[in-house]
Amino acid sequence: MSDRRNVAPNDLEAFWMPFTANRQFKKAPRLFVGAKDMRYTTNDGREVLDGTAGLWCVNAGHCRPKITEAIREQAGELDYAPAFQLGHPKAFELANRLVDLAPKGMGHVFYTNSGSESVDTALKMALAYHRVRGEGGRFRLIGRERAYHGINFGGTSVGGIVTNRKMFGTLLTGVDHIPHTHLPDQNAFTRGEPEHGLHLANELERVVALHDPSTVAAVIVEPVAGSTGVLIPPKGYLKRLREICDKHGILLIFDEVITGFGRLGTPFAADYFGVTPDIMTTAKGLTNGVIPMGAVLVKDEIHDAFMNGPEHMIEFMHGYTYSGNPIASAAALATLETYQDEGLLTRAAELSDYWAEGLHSLKDCPHVIDIRNLGLIGAIELESLPGEPTKRAFNAFLKAYESGLLIRTTGDIIALSPPLIISKAEIDELFDKLRTVLMNNI
């Protein structure tokens, strides 16, 4: 293996980095040049403990042999097959594996390349589903305040993070939002699902009534809102959304891009909460983050509604050049195998009490105003620096990075979501490092 130390980049200017403070980054770049299991290696040869599974995606840890080997092999055997009107075996094999893992009745899979594409696919599917059934008047989509559903136009429209929306004009029309579920006055420092906030699900009734139920196609929510700073649904909240959707013939979409593949100790959040959506979006952990790929899982009734008309006609005018790409499919199959071999889809359930204990032990650190957790997810909300929102958490991010720990921040919230292979000793290390950061005048 080549010596990765002091690998210097040439010029940083040309790459306009996504969701990054470009000018600040380029003055003091943070570069990873290697990774193995729970740790990254930086270009100056330091190890960084991964407290975020990359971007909530590397659920099995880094550079896992089965996945690496599957990609290598597939790249030498069949690199690409056209996705339209043609196929290759692994895409079908993967769809079957996903259906086996999915909640009962979700018997079909549509491939994308990212979470954002999964979301836009799901929204289009919902609109088209109503139309093929002769209910084209159902054109409205309902999202939620503070939601993150990726960055394409559909996902941005149903999303509820103001800074992600405000630059981009009118977005999709016919979209409304229900309230977020963050109630810090009542729920601060709750372990697991909060007691208060079920009534917020009833807001869906109000919004649906405002527009008339017959105009509403679908409601989309993240079962646990991640990118907005980890909002755990109040007890009974998702069940109530399901009931309201059923009552009015509205499709319920769960965006499982971060909760899918074991994050809560079950294959999907739908399993954890005992609520089955009509459509489920996934990406990230599907390939362990190694190769871009997403999958939309769909109830049979929805798929079947499209299967009419002349058989030579395309039933759903949608798809991507790389839908079910052979290398991505091989990576996903090897990822699912790794999850299965190592029991990773249920590991978070075994670790969640230990995780919660370590996380909530930080309650006494300065400026901590809330801590919340579920499965292997944690969040620490900090009091903002006066007049400088986001800066305190970003300072914590920079100090953590310097001290060998990767955390993620959004607003003044630190979000944690380590690879599911994390050991108890590594959980201790993570929270020890984080305590030092939080005590260090941020």
- In terms of DSSP bridges, do strands 413-416 and 408-410 run parallel, antiparallel, or are they unpaired? antiparallel
Nearer to ligand PLP, 41 or 287 (CB): 287
Binding map of ligand PLP across residues 112-141, x = CB under 6 A, - = no contact: --xxx--x----------------------
145 touches ligand PLP (CB under 6 A)? no
CA distance 129 to 256: 20
Nearer to ligand PLP, 74 or 112 (CB): 112
Residues 6+ apart with CB under 8 A from 319: 83, 84, 110
Least separation in angstroms between residue 26's CB and ligand PLP is 22
Return phi, psi of residue 100, to 5°.
Answer: -60, -35
Nearer to ligand PLP, 289 or 358 (CB): 289
**Strand (E) or helix (H) holding 371:** strand 368-374
- Give me the residues paired with residue 372 across strands: 379
- Selected from 150, 160, 289, 375, the binder of ligand PLP by CB under 6 A is 150
CA distance 86 to 383: 54
263 touches ligand PLP (CB under 6 A)? no
Nearer to ligand PLP, 271 or 426 (CB): 271
CA end-to-end distance (rounded Å), the chain? 38
Nearest alpha-carbon partner for 362 in 411, 405, 420: 405
258 touches ligand PLP (CB under 6 A)? yes
- Selected from 120, 145, 193, 255, the binder of ligand PLP by CB under 6 A is 255
Candidates 37-45, 61-69, 254-262, 388-396: pick the segment binding ligand PLP (CB under 6 A).
Answer: 254-262
CA distance 99 to 120: 21
Per the document, the length of the chain is 442
Candidates 24-32, 109-117, 329-337, 356-364: pick the segment binding ligand PLP (CB under 6 A).
Answer: 109-117
315, with CB counted inside 10 A (0-12, 13-18, 19+), is middle
CA distance 278 to 257: 15
Least separation in angstroms between residue 387's CB and ligand PLP is 29
Q: Where are the alpha helices (DSSP H) in 296-423?
A: 300-306, 326-341, 344-360, 391-402
Nearer to ligand PLP, 256 or 370 (CB): 256
Least separation in angstroms between residue 10's CB and ligand PLP is 27
CA distance 392 to 412: 6
CA distance 344 to 151: 29
283 touches ligand PLP (CB under 6 A)? yes
Structure-block tokens of residue 26? 């380029």
- Helix 326-341, helix 65-77: angle, nearest 10: 160
Candidates 7-15, 22-30, 70-78, 111-119: pick the segment binding ligand PLP (CB under 6 A).
Answer: 111-119
Candidates 251-259, 317-325, 332-340, 360-368: pick the segment binding ligand PLP (CB under 6 A).
Answer: 251-259
271 touches ligand PLP (CB under 6 A)? no
CA distance 33 to 52: 17
CA distance 144 to 153: 15
Least separation in angstroms between residue 57's CB and ligand PLP is 8
144 touches ligand PLP (CB under 6 A)? no
Nearer to ligand PLP, 251 or 293 (CB): 293
Nearer to ligand PLP, 148 or 431 (CB): 148
Residues 6+ apart with CB under 8 A from 65: none
41 touches ligand PLP (CB under 6 A)? no
370 touches ligand PLP (CB under 6 A)? no
Least separation in angstroms between residue 1's CB and ligand PLP is 29
**Residue whose beta carbon is closest to ligand PLP:** 115
Nearest alpha-carbon partner for 152 in 142, 164, 143, 162: 164
Least separation in angstroms between residue 283's CB and ligand PLP is 5
257 touches ligand PLP (CB under 6 A)? yes
Task: Read off the amino acid at residue 418.
Answer: P
Binding map of ligand PLP across residues 195-234, x = CB under 6 A, - = no contact: ---------------------------x---xx-------
Nearer to ligand PLP, 154 or 234 (CB): 154
Structure-block tokens of residue 213? 């139920």
Nearer to ligand PLP, 148 or 261 (CB): 148
Q: Which residues are near ligand PLP by CB under 6 A?
A: 114-116, 119, 148-150, 222, 226-227, 255, 257-258, 283
